[in-house]
Chains A and B, each alone.
Chain A
Amino acid sequence: MVEARYFDGRSSRPRTVLLDWQDGLLTLRDTAENTILRQHLLQDMEVAEELGHGPRLLRLPESGLCEIEDRAGLAALLEQAGHRESMVSRGQRNLKLALFAAIALIVIAAAGYRWGVPLAADAVAARLPTGLAEKTGQETLELLDEHWLKPSRLPGARREALRTQFAALQPPPGQAPAWRLHFRASPQVGANAFALPGGDIILTDELVALARDDREIMAVLAHELGHQHYRHGLRNALQGIIVGAAVTAWLGDISTALAGLSSAVLEARYSREFEQEADIYAARMLQHNNLSPEWLATALQRLEQAHASKAEGTPSLLSSHPHTAERIEALKVHR
């Protein structure tokens, strides 16, 4: 016998009842009048699962509710009646299972970050129509032209010479992406080159001025061509969307600033991997044309020196590029 508060579903007035299991029926007996109030089969009732430490609930058919404080008594009664709890109901009270779930969640998140997201972004990038990537690249270039870039001040003949020189280089066999070279001036950005989705490569006048040998410029362009070959621009954008959505789902309720910072840290790692891939591509391309990968190392060093006066070393975790020293070290393998 288990004491319960019974509500008839018509008013909020409680009645004290005793619950009992009689002839296969759950029986509610009014304690004040000692009469049987209701009798039901177990399958006609809804046993609300145990959640926390509030009273347990039995929802009766049509309407009516029992609130039970005596948890042990109810458990014994339900066992007698043959009630089977669902697996999830039992599982969510089990500390071992909860710890397993926490570990599983961390493993899934880590594996998704390491392999899942890059694979998904790669698959999507490969299936997107090339026109879309080109359009995105052109829109980005328009935006950059508006805010950061100015028309190049290099003589037309010099630009044409560089373009011809790069066109004469052979990409590694079977790895020749389409490209369009744009010259721009940018005192704000400084000596730099970058690849936009769809084949656009931008080279700044400042970089051309910085180089002491045209082969350094060729090495940098080969690195950017590597980004084009691997579709890094598009893949980077797609990975950013996935990581951003996942981090927002996890932390967005607490602080959007925190979510933004976390995704920036997570995305920086992908970006460093892309830089390494592009470096290797450039080294192979230079070798394929009987040029030393050393030219890329020299260019990287010069770029680092040019930018060092502006920003003191970003911590490696936050940086979108690997440390130049590491990159140069990696290039030695290809010498």
Chain B
Amino acid sequence: MDLSETRDAVGHTQEHRLSFSGSGGDYFKIWIVNLLLSLCTLGIYSAWAKVRRLQYFHRNTLLAGSGFDYHGNPISILKGRLLVFGVFVAYQVAGFSGSLGLVYAVLGLVFLFSPWMIRQALRFRAWNTSYRGLRFHFAGTLGNAFRVYLGRGLVTMITLGLAAPWAMQGQARYKLDNLFFGQSKFAMAATVGAFYKLFLKLFGILLLTGAVSAAAGWGIASLVPTAQSASIGIFAGIMVFYAVALFLIGPYFWARLLNLTWNTTSLGDGIRFVSTVRARGLLWIGLTNLLGILLTLGFFWPWAVVRLARYRAEHTALVSNSGLDDFLAHAEQDVGATGEEAADWLDIDLGL
């Protein structure tokens, strides 16, 4: 059915909506069996479980009839986890030794290496994702990773967050402008200005929330006529602020960020993305998921992640004027991904 559909569509603009074919019940079975195996092997099996989880979500995300696929090697994931565990142990040992210098040395090293780790994770994830037998790949340089993560991150810290939108734009751009599907390149066109606009709106909402929380705290304080009414009021105000920030601002920011990023992203010559994620949709899923997890002591988790994956897939589409049949493989793929260059950066996964 999809064959005729795409063939007919050549030359016409056509929208391909993503869909998700997984279900909470199916994923629960996979999740619980793999969780038990991970527990029984003291966490070693969790690398295999991670591959299964990603395969489940990739293969059930469908575009024009075809699913995505994931090819990560569990051993590479295990190596990455061992490395991270080693760093964690080093940090703990430094803490126990009582030498503050040693603690800062470990933290400094982690900070210095973080761009390398992020780039490694992006490369691993991209290369191990495929669609219709063609692999994605990530070509971001180490220099640019240092520039956008360490450089822009430091400027954000020095300016007390004023540069955060600029840093975030640079990082989003680094992730997408260096991503390829086969030979076709992704490109994101959202400007620094657009990110500042988003942050300004967020800041306005935060101010409003602050005012509302303060009023709520003051109101509650005046209702409790004891000596501690002031501290009760402050506590109530903080709780209101925290709840609103967590449940309303989080989904709002996430939805707007997804839409801003994807609605300005294109692939190759003729494909652009349409993201229609809504804050209220994410809020509803988030609240009901939290309730489900609370009522089941955590066992609702598989349903929760499936619901979110379905919502995200169903609110993302590709608009193409030449169908999806004309992508070509990246040259490296012909040698079966065993090129030396491939080998040295593919053997470790740092995506946590």
B343 at the interface (CB under 8 A from A): no
Give bound CA distance, A53 to B310, whole Å: 13
Which residues of chain A have C-beta atoms less than 8 A from B329's C-beta? 9-11, 63
**Digit string of B1-36 for contact with A (CB within 8 Å is 1, else 0)?**
011000000000000000001110011111011111
User: CB-nearest residue of chain A relative to B48?
Assistant: A88
Give bound CA distance, A7 to B67, whole Å: 12
**Digit string of B44-56 for contact with A (CB within 8 Å is 1, else 0)?**
0000000010011
Give bound CA distance, A250 to B298, whole Å: 7
Which residues of chain A have C-beta atoms less than 8 A from B324's C-beta? 12
Decide if A108 touches B132 in the complex (CB within 8 Å). no
B299 at the interface (CB under 8 A from A): yes
**Digit string of A84-118 for contact with B (CB within 8 Å is 1, else 0)?**
00001001111101100110110010000000000
Give bound CA distance, A93 to B29, whole Å: 6
Partner of B325, one of A10, A11, A62: A11
A54 at the interface (CB under 8 A from B): yes
Decide if A55 touches B30 in the complex (CB within 8 Å). no
Q: Assign chain A's interface to a size class.
A: 35 or more
Which residues of chain A have C-beta atoms less than 8 A from B28's C-beta? 98
B340 at the interface (CB under 8 A from A): no
Decide if A55 touches B67 in the complex (CB within 8 Å). yes
Decide if A10 touches B298 in the complex (CB within 8 Å). no
Decide if B134 touches A52 in the complex (CB within 8 Å). no
Decide if B33 touches A97 in the complex (CB within 8 Å). yes
Interface residues of B in 195-241 (CB under 8 A from A): none
Decide if B336 touches A62 in the complex (CB within 8 Å). yes
In the complex, how many angstroms separate the beta carbon of A247 from the nearest chain B beta carbon?
10
Which residues of chain A have C-beta atoms less than 8 A from B294's C-beta? 258
Partner of A63, one of B21, B304, B334: B334
Decide if A52 touches B27 in the complex (CB within 8 Å). yes
Which residues of chain A have C-beta atoms less than 8 A from B328's C-beta? 10-12
User: CB-nearest residue of chain B relative to A97?
Assistant: B33
A57 at the interface (CB under 8 A from B): yes
Partner of A12, one of B27, B131, B299: B131
**Digit string of A147-167 for contact with B (CB within 8 Å is 1, else 0)?**
000000000000000000000
In the complex, how many angstroms separate the beta carbon of A209 from the nearest chain B beta carbon?
23
Partner of A101, one of B26, B35, B60: B35
Decide if A51 touches B35 in the complex (CB within 8 Å). no
Q: How many residues belonging to B are interface residues under a CB distance threshold of 8 Å?
A: 52
In the complex, how many angstroms separate the beta carbon of B326 from the nearest chain A beta carbon?
7
Give bound CA distance, A313 to B289, whole Å: 33
A182 at the interface (CB under 8 A from B): no
Q: Given A14-B3, A52-B56, is A255 in contact with B290 using a C-beta cutoff of 8 Å?
A: yes
Decide if A9 touches B134 in the complex (CB within 8 Å). yes
Give bound CA distance, A65 to B60, whole Å: 16
A168 at the interface (CB under 8 A from B): no
Give bound CA distance, A195 to B131, whole Å: 62
User: CB-nearest residue of chain A relative to B293?
Assistant: A254
Please count the residue pairs between chain A and chain B whose beta carbons lie under 8 angstroms apart in the complex. 136
Which residues of chain A have C-beta atoms less than 8 A from B29's C-beta? 92-95, 97-98
Interface residues of A in 1-27 (CB under 8 A from B): 5, 7-14, 16
User: CB-nearest residue of chain A relative to B328?
Assistant: A11
Interface residues of B in 286-301 (CB under 8 A from A): 289-290, 293-294, 298-299, 301
User: CB-nearest residue of chain B relative to A98?
Assistant: B29
Decide if A52 touches B21 in the complex (CB within 8 Å). yes
Q: Given A95-B29, A254-B290, is A105 in contact with B36 using a C-beta cutoff of 8 Å?
A: yes
Partner of B66, one of A9, A67, A98: A67
**Digit string of B92-105 for contact with A (CB within 8 Å is 1, else 0)?**
00001010000000
Which residues of chain A have C-beta atoms less than 8 A from B132's C-beta? 7, 12, 14, 65, 67
User: CB-nearest residue of chain A relative to B29?
Assistant: A98
Give bound CA distance, A53 to B2, whole Å: 17
B185 at the interface (CB under 8 A from A): no
Give bound CA distance, A86 to B326, whole Å: 36
In the complex, how many angstroms separate the beta carbon of A18 from the nearest chain B beta carbon?
14
Which residues of chain B have C-beta atoms less than 8 A from A57's C-beta? 59, 67, 69
B39 at the interface (CB under 8 A from A): yes
User: CB-nearest residue of chain B relative to A136?
Assistant: B96
In the complex, how many angstroms separate the beta carbon of B103 from the nearest chain A beta carbon?
15
Which residues of chain B have C-beta atoms less than 8 A from A14's C-beta? 2-3, 66, 132, 325
**3 A-B pairs with the lowest CB-CB distances in the bound complex, closest first:** A7-B133, A65-B133, A12-B327
17 residue pairs from A and B, CB less than 8 Å apart: A5-B65, A9-B133, A9-B329, A11-B134, A11-B326, A52-B21, A54-B59, A54-B60, A54-B61, A54-B62, A55-B66, A63-B336, A65-B132, A92-B34, A98-B28, A132-B96, A258-B294
| Given A11-B325, A92-B29, A250-B298; 13 other pairs, CB 8 A cutoff | A10-B328, A10-B333, A12-B131, A12-B182, A12-B325, A14-B325, A52-B59, A53-B22, A54-B67, A55-B67, A97-B29, A98-B32, A254-B304
Residues of chain B whose beta carbon lies under 8 Å from any beta carbon of chain A:
2-3, 21-23, 26-30, 32-37, 39, 52, 55-56, 59-62, 65-67, 69, 96, 98, 131-134, 182, 289-290, 293-294, 298-299, 301, 304, 324-329, 333-334, 336
